[in-house]
Amino acid sequence: MNALQPDNRIACHECDLLMQRPQIQGDQVVNCPRCGSRLISSHPNSAERSLALALAGLILLLPANLFPVLTLEVLGRQQEQTIFSSAMVLYRDGLALVALAVLLFAILVPLCKLLLLTYLSGALHLRRRWPLLPLAMRSYQHLDQWGMLEVYLIAVLVSVVKLVDIADVHPGLGLYSLGALIAVTALSSSQLDPDLFWHQIADLGDPVERVETGHE
């Protein structure tokens, strides 16, 4: 007898209530009967939506990093700042840890998140059993909490307010791209239903997920 049937039951992530997995088709939402939190929100073409958003995010990541977020003009002297160059300024000012945090949470983590999401949704869209899908999904879920583009954007806006008295501050193309990138990543996070993705990954039968039990 196979003791491991991961898809027949579902646990509420808020109150831990264990219940039978409901059969869902199409555009449906399932809430926990005990605490009311959302368990499953099934959108048609979920993988395709995620793939489109991830690709849009990867494209936006380029101008957000290549073009200046802000241009400062003091006494006729112009200085353009990209995300990377602002981290370098922090590093040169002796704030190595803050510089590292900017590099990690404003560049590397969003990039990794978008690459993982492209890989996952691409595999699910093409229904291909690409390697390490469960690891990619786990990593994506861990990283989801660590992308801090919004914090960076707020820091930029605060600095604009503070600098506007002493310098001419011009928002650059990087700032608009950053805003669009934040909207796209927020949308991709809210659209993605982890339960549905896990279900589809298990359906593809990734070898890592196939724990063999009951074959004594």
Q: Which of 4, 7, 9, 15 binds Zn ion (CB under 5 A)?
A: 15
Should residue 97 be labelled a site residue for Zn ion when binding is judged by CB under 5 A? no
Pick the closest to residue 57 from 127, 149, 142 (CA basis).
149
What is residue 105's three-state secondary structure? helix
For residue 125, the minimal CB distance to Zn ion (Å) is 31
- Tell me the closest approach of the beta carbon of residue 41 to Zn ion, in angstroms: 15
- Is residue 210 a contact residue for Zn ion (CB under 5 A)? no
Q: Which two tokens stand for residue 93?
A: 């000012």
Counting residues that bind Zn ion (by CB under 5 A) gives 7
* Residue owning tokens 């219940």: 19
Contact between 12 and Zn ion by CB under 5 A: the answer reads yes
How far apart CA 215 and CA 44 sit, in angstroms, is 37
Which of 4, 7, 9, 34 contacts Zn ion by CB under 5 A?
34
35 binds Zn ion (CB under 5 A): yes
9 binds Zn ion (CB under 5 A): no
Three-state DSSP state, 53: helix
Q: Using the rule CB under 5 A, is 10 a contact of Zn ion?
A: no
Tell me: does residue 39 bind Zn ion (CB under 5 A): no
User: What's the min distance (Å) between Cβ of 39 and Zn ion?
Assistant: 8
Give the nearer residue to Zn ion in terms of CB position, either 38 or 199.
Answer: 38
DSSP string, 143-212: HTTT--HHHHHHHHHHHHHHHTTTSEEEE-HHHHHHHHHHHHHHHHHHH--HHHHHHHHHHHT-TTT---
The stretch near Zn ion (CB under 5 A) out of 16-24, 96-104, 115-123, 141-149 is: 16-24
42 or 139: CB nearest Zn ion: 42
Min dist CB 193 to Zn ion, Å, is: 16
Nearer to Zn ion, 14 or 73 (CB): 14
At 10, give phi and psi (nearest 5°).
-140, 140
Our finding on whether 14 is near Zn ion (CB under 5 A) is: yes
CA dist 99 and 34 (Å) reads 45
Pairing of strands 38-42, 77-81: unpaired
Tokens of 213: 């039990």
Q: Which of 69, 85, 87, 62 is nearest to 174 (CA)?
A: 69
| Residue 27 binds to Zn ion (criterion: CB under 5 A) | no
Please give the residue ranges that form the binding site for Zn ion (CB under 5 A): 12, 14-15, 17, 32, 34-35
